[in-house]
A and B are shown apart, each in its own frame.
Chain A
């Protein structure tokens, strides 16, 4: 059962424009959400996270928005750069479970066109 879903498997965007990635989750117990970026032959690299007590978190070019009522979050990358071309994973966890087990989506392939 996929608890974290990422639709639109791939996205192409022009350099300098905004990239928007979407993620939906089904488990209302999730209270911490993260985005990871992955290049081929490398492990996922942490990008940005958000706690369920917030609805927005910003770090440089990356902003994550959380809509708890819709069980939806999104990642905005502005401006997009060629080095952002990678697979992006949305992940979620429940802090009260005594672990930080992450449930991942299937990922979105982003291609930034110079």
Chain B
């Protein structure tokens, strides 16, 4: 079975632009979460969706938004990009919410110039 897939793998944008990152969860998984990892830090929680509903939001500005589609795939959108948004963006899926392990994709490396 395929794992969590993310696209694109790498992306270069300039300040002020908009970006959309995509994620497909493991088959049968209904929850998708997004994390941001900057160099030298652990992943930071951005959003979690379950059955197309937002279940959690981390401490990120409103420039960050996400949604989950009926097939459980998800998009993360970031508007008005700043240099500080340069990071590895990780998507993770799980069967349900609650105390359950997350399965991570390989991430999208975003560079903002």
Contact = CB atoms under 8 A, between A and B. Distances in A.
B101 A49 contact: yes
Give the residue among B92, B98, B100 with the most A Cβ atoms within 10 A. Answer: B98
A59 B58 CA distance: 32
Contacts of A102: 33, 35, 43, 45, 102
Interface in A1-46: 4, 6, 31-32, 34, 36, 41-46
Contacts, number: 69
Interface stretch (A63-71, A74-82, A90-98): A90-98
A103 B90 contact: no
B103 interface: yes
A106 interface: yes
B105 interface: yes
Contact of B103 (A6, A46, A106): A46
A45 B92 CA distance: 10
Interface of B: 4, 31, 33, 35, 40-45, 48, 50, 55-56, 58, 90, 92, 94, 97-107
The 6 closest A-B pairs by CB, nearest first: A104-B42, A43-B104, A32-B99, A95-B99, A99-B56, A99-B55
Interface of A: 4, 6, 31-32, 34, 36, 41-46, 49, 51, 89, 91, 93, 95, 97-107
